[in-house]
């Protein structure tokens, strides 16, 4: 089969016509928590669409990343990490979001960590095999895999676990093998005109992206367990006098968490606000005035009603 040309740099707007063999479809990025799915999406698009942090379960929503070229439009679906244990409502929400994504995909990208296989990886693979869709295995973080001589035997062993249509070692962080992936993925998409205009990169609004940026900065600064009890809601998002006014509420589950987020003399919150504002200004292309408040909603992450109120699709 011939290669399908896909590029992140295309002219704005919907093409007037496309070739009859044009391809378009959904490629779900699936894996256990913390294997680099969001880093992979950002590398594929050449732009930050999904927030990233070293902490597992940073991604909580399905996020589309749209890559359009003259031969194909690949609609990547970044998903929360699938995990076997889902005792809390938030964990169940993330599992549902991931499962729906792989059920709807034309091809599933199974991301694992090179030279590492866990029970959670097997759980994800079992779910993928049930769907009967083509599966491309991506061995991420090969830049950190040592000794390199173990990579080939690891790939051979992986191919015994399922009938993968492709097995590709990559490094999302170092962009190794990333440029060749879109054309390879496009081979497994149906012939179809593009679903989105060629200048659209994601289905998520600027308000959503602003909330996620604040949550990312919190996740990077706070101690290991606290980020899982935090979410961010945008209460105001408007342009005035050439700048963007953003008011955001950081919701925590207990009053003790509120004190940690604010920090001594408000320094923690100020630093989160400063770094989030800088990133928003760059992303949105205009000055940003950001105000943050911290409020308590008891046990919100294990409350289905509270999750809906805070914008989580259940």
- Please check whether residue 238 is in contact with residue 245, taking contact to mean a CB–CB distance below 8 angstroms: yes
- Number of structural domains the chain divides into: 2
Q: Residue 4 has what pLDDT?
A: 54
Q: Residue 141 has what pLDDT?
A: 96
Q: What's 60's domain CATH number?
A: 3.40.50.300
In a domain? residue 199? no
- Give the residue carrying structure tokens 């408040």: 293
Q: Residue 14 has what pLDDT?
A: 46
What are φ and ψ of residue 63, in 5° steps?
-130, 125
Domain hosting 290: range is 206-309
Retrieve residue 268's tokens.
Answer: 């923690």
C-alpha 286/C-alpha 217 separation (Å) is 20
In a domain? residue 17? no
Q: What is the chain's mean pLDDT, rounded?
A: 91
Sign of CA dihedral 169, 172, 178, 183: positive
- Give the residue carrying structure tokens 């169940």: 92
In a domain? residue 16? no
Instruction: Tell me: pLDDT of 41 over 90.
Output: yes
User: What are the C-alpha distances in Å from 81 to residues 67, 97, 111?
Assistant: 22, 9, 10
Q: Find all residues with CB under 8 Å of 161, minimum gap 6, and list them.
A: 122, 125
In a domain? residue 105? yes
Q: Find all residues with CB under 8 Å of 105, minimum gap 6, and list them.
A: 25, 26, 27, 28, 77, 131, 133
SS3 312: coil
Which one has a higher pLDDT value, 311 or 143? 143
Query: Is 216 in the same domain as 98?
Result: no
Query: Is 174 in the same domain as 231?
Result: no
- Please check whether residue 228 is in contact with residue 257, taking contact to mean a CB–CB distance below 8 angstroms: no
| Domain end point (choices 158, 186, 214) | 186
| Domain end point (choices 186, 217, 232) | 186
Q: Find all residues with CB under 8 Å of 122, minimum gap 6, and list them.
A: 161
Question: Each residue of 73-98: pLDDT tens digit?
Answer: 999 999 888 877 667 888 888 888 88
Q: Residue 1 has what pLDDT?
A: 38
In a domain? residue 191? no
C-alpha 267/C-alpha 274 separation (Å) is 10
In a domain? residue 12? no
Q: Residue 7 has what pLDDT?
A: 52
Query: Is 177 in the same domain as 236?
Result: no
- Please check whether residue 181 is in contact with residue 74, taking contact to mean a CB–CB distance below 8 angstroms: no
pLDDT-derived band at 10 (thresholds 50, 70, 90) equals: very low
- Please check whether residue 197 is in contact with residue 13, taking contact to mean a CB–CB distance below 8 angstroms: yes
What are φ and ψ of residue 15, in 5° steps?
-60, 145
| Average pLDDT score over residue span 257-265 | 93
Q: Residue 68 has what pLDDT?
A: 97
Q: How many residues does the chain have?
A: 314
pLDDT-derived band at 100 (thresholds 50, 70, 90) equals: confident
Q: Residue 38 has what pLDDT?
A: 94
Question: Each residue of 270-296: pLDDT tens digit?
Answer: 999 999 999 999 999 999 999 999 999
Q: Residue 20 has what pLDDT?
A: 87
């Amino acid at each position: 089969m011939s290669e399908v040309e896909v590029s992140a740099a295309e002219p704005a707007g919907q093409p007037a016509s496309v070739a009859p063999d044009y391809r378009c479809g959904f490629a779900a990025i699936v894996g256990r928590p913390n294997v680099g799915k969001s880093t992979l999406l950002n590398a594929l698009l050449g732009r930050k669409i999904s927030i990233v942090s070293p902490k597992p379960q940073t991604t909580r929503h399905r996020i589309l990343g749209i890559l359009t070229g003259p031969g194909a439009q690949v609609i990547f679906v970044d998903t929360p990490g699938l995990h076997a244990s889902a005792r809390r409502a938030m964990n169940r929400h993330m599992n549902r979001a991931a499962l729906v994504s792989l059920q709807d995909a034309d091809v599933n990208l199974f991301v694992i960590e090179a030279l590492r296989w866990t029970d959670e990886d097997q759980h994800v693979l079992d779910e993928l095999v049930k769907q009967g869709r083509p599966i491309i295995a991506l061995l991420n973080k090969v830049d950190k895999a040592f000794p390199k001589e173990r990579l080939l035997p690891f790939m051979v062993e992986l191919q015994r676990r399922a009938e993968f249509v492709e097995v590709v070692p990559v490094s999302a962080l170092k962009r190794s093998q990333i440029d060749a992936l879109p054309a390879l993925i496009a081979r497994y998409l149906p012939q179809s005109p593009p679903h989105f205009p060629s200048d659209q990169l994601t289905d998520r609004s600027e308000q959503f992206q602003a909330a996620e940026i604040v949550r990312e900065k919190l996740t990077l600064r706070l101690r290991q367990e606290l980020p899982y009890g935090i979410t961010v809601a945008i209460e105001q998002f408007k342009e005035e006098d050439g700048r963007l006014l953003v008011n955001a509420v950081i919701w925590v589950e207990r009053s003790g968490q509120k004190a940690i987020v604010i920090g001594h003399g408000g320094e923690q919150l100020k630093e989160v606000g400063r770094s989030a504002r800088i990133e928003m200004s760059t992303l949105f292309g205009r000055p940003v005035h950001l105000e943050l408040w911290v409020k308590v909603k008891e046990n919100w992450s294990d409350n289905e009603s509270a999750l809906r109120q805070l914008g989580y699709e259940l």
